[in-house]
Amino acid sequence: MNTDFPQRKRSFGELLFRYMKINRLMVNELASQIDITPETLEHWLNGEIKNPGCHHVIKLVSVFKLNDEQRNELFSLVGCYQFGVLLDLYRAENGFNNSELAQKLGVARITLTRWRDGVVKRPACENVAELALILKLSPERQYEFFLLAGCTPPVRLDPISGIIIDAIDTIETDSPSTDQEQFETRIEVKQPEPIPIPGIPITHPCQFFGQIAVLKKIRWAWRQPSALRHLAVIGDRRSGKTSLLKYLYYLTQTPQTDLRSEQPQGWKDWLPHDFQFVFVDFQMAVMSKPETLLSSILEQLGVRIHKQCDLIQFSTTLAKHLNKPTIILMDEIGRGLQAPALDGHFWSGLLALTKTNGNGGMNGKLGLVITAPKSIQILAQECDQDPSLFTIFGDSAHLTALTETEARDLINSFSHALTEADIDWILQQSGCWPALLQLLCDARLFALEDGDTTDNWKTDGLERIEPFLYLLNTNNTNTPSGVTFDVPP
């Protein structure tokens, strides 16, 4: 089975067809609902028209009842992920016409129209704050609404969990300038319940098992804090790339008493206590634009910029405040390479900051760890980026399945003990891949809690892991000897 999953994101036409199929809408029906001709819709579907008007895309969001993440993916594909488009969407959701909203805000109707149409891309931040109140935006919506307007959000977002957190211990910078402020934040890492977490990355370091070879490579890359090296972590979908980055991000924020006795595995007694970490998830639409991506990085480092952030502003600010070894963890970098706004000029400028000399670099104090499904040079070429820009990733680490001992430790970490026969069967069918282990254990524990004493849970478990059986074909030396797999027909 081919496990080389391409990073090419779906086209607008492909995504449109998918949502039409989910909603069981024919071409004539959808065209009628969004006030276009069936011929125009056909052109969208076959790619002859790649960028329909944003007002039409807003109607599609309403017809398909998309959540914010699905909406942002659709907007990003057609260049509509902008402040003005979100403003028009939220206006419609709240039942205002342009005149009513302008009157409520106390501005001229033409002013609101210029914001909506993108003629003015950066309205006054006090107006953005008032709009957020009038439009009753949730904290999560406020975050991206302010960022896209070039304003400092009134709330902070945990870059990994997406949970809103408050900034505390605000400290003004030495500079009298009001363009930026420095602050410290603390993120509470809560102890999780001892249950399987199928389909989602870990939420606490104690949930992370194995990958000792990868962790040893990471430790080696960070052995000189003044000359940090850069590492690419390679793995298939569901192989645990995001969980690895979350483990690195949260590890130093977690009390030793909340970790397992053998943690941090592969590092002996060493921990990067003096390091600071930034997490960038390129699957979030807000990370597809330079200004919001760079602002997010600085904010995670405790520096808030009160104006639009470009590469020049970013590099000068970073040089001023980077006083300790800093690691930027970039998840699914393929999505970032595909973002039209993150072009070769952007990547060249950003990666230049990792130089170990003083010519535009950060004197070796800035390191990168990226995740990808294949070699970063190959991926860059496929995304029409210059592969030579990414030669800084001189080493890579490949994710593998757990050893049998590690897999047993994962299974035994759950609150309900399983029989040895059940454990052996789960090990055989999962190949010791964490994602498959979680699914099979979840099926078994559900059956036990439901009082089901039959073997029906095995059929359920095999059905649940079927979409991810490509992992079993990945080269892996950790799988227990003599293992056979009952692949569902």
Q: Is the pLDDT of residue 426 over 90?
A: yes
Same domain, 226 and 374: yes
- Asked if residue 373 belongs to a domain, the reply is yes
- Asked if residue 3 belongs to a domain, the reply is no
Same domain, 244 and 370: yes
Higher local confidence (pLDDT), 87 or 177: 87
Same domain, 137 and 238: no
Same domain, 391 and 408: no
The predicted-structure confidence for 367-412, as pLDDT tens digits, reads as follows: 999 999 999 999 999 999 999 999 999 889 999 999 999 999 999 9
Query: The domain spanning residue 385 has which CATH number?
Result: 3.40.50.300
**3-class SS letters over the chain:** CCCCCCCCCCCHHHHHHHHHHHCCCCHHHHHHHCCCCHHHHHHHHHCCCCCCCHHHHHHHHHHHCCCHHHHHHHHHHCCCCCHHHHHHHHHHHCCCCHHHHHHHHCCCHHHHHHHHCCCCCCCCHHHHHHHHHHCCCCHHHHHHHHHHCCCCCCCEECCCCCCEECCEEEECCCCCCCCEEEEECCCCCCCCCCCCCCCCCCCCHHHCCCCHHHHHHHHHHCCCCCCCCCEEEECCCCCCHHHHHHHHHHHCCCCHHHCCCCCCCCCCCCCCCCCEEEEEECCCHHHHCHHHHHHHHHHHCCEEECCCCCHHHHHHHHHHHCCCCEEEEEECHHHHHHCCCCCHHHHHHHHHCCCCCCCCCCCCCEEEEEEECCCHHHHHHHCCCCHHHHCCCCEEEECCCCCHHHHHHHHHCCCCCCCHHHHHHHHHHHCCCHHHHHHHHHHHHHHHHCCCCCCHHHHHHHHHHHHHHHHHHCCCCCCCCCCCCCCCC
Please give the residue range of the domain that contains residue 423. 404-473
Q: How many domains does the chain have?
A: 3
Task: State which of 132, 148, 164 marks the end of a domain.
Answer: 148
- Asked if residue 195 belongs to a domain, the reply is no
Task: State which of 371, 398, 425 marks the end of a domain.
Answer: 398
The predicted-structure confidence for 108-147, as pLDDT tens digits, reads as follows: 999 999 999 888 888 888 899 999 999 999 888 888 888 8
Same domain, 134 and 268: no
- Asked if residue 384 belongs to a domain, the reply is yes
Same domain, 323 and 211: yes
- Asked if residue 243 belongs to a domain, the reply is yes
Same domain, 364 and 427: no
- Asked if residue 186 belongs to a domain, the reply is no
pLDDT at 481: 42
Q: Is the pLDDT of residue 361 over 70?
A: no
- Asked if residue 173 belongs to a domain, the reply is no
The predicted-structure confidence for 201-245, as pLDDT tens digits, reads as follows: 988 999 999 999 999 999 999 988 888 999 999 999 999 999 999
Same domain, 238 and 346: yes
Same domain, 344 and 386: yes
Task: State which of 148, 166, 184 marks the end of a domain.
Answer: 148
pLDDT at 4: 41
pLDDT confidence bin for 157, thresholds 50/70/90: low
Same domain, 377 and 416: no
The predicted-structure confidence for 266-316, as pLDDT tens digits, reads as follows: 887 788 888 999 999 998 888 888 988 998 899 888 887 766 788 998 998
- Asked if residue 190 belongs to a domain, the reply is no
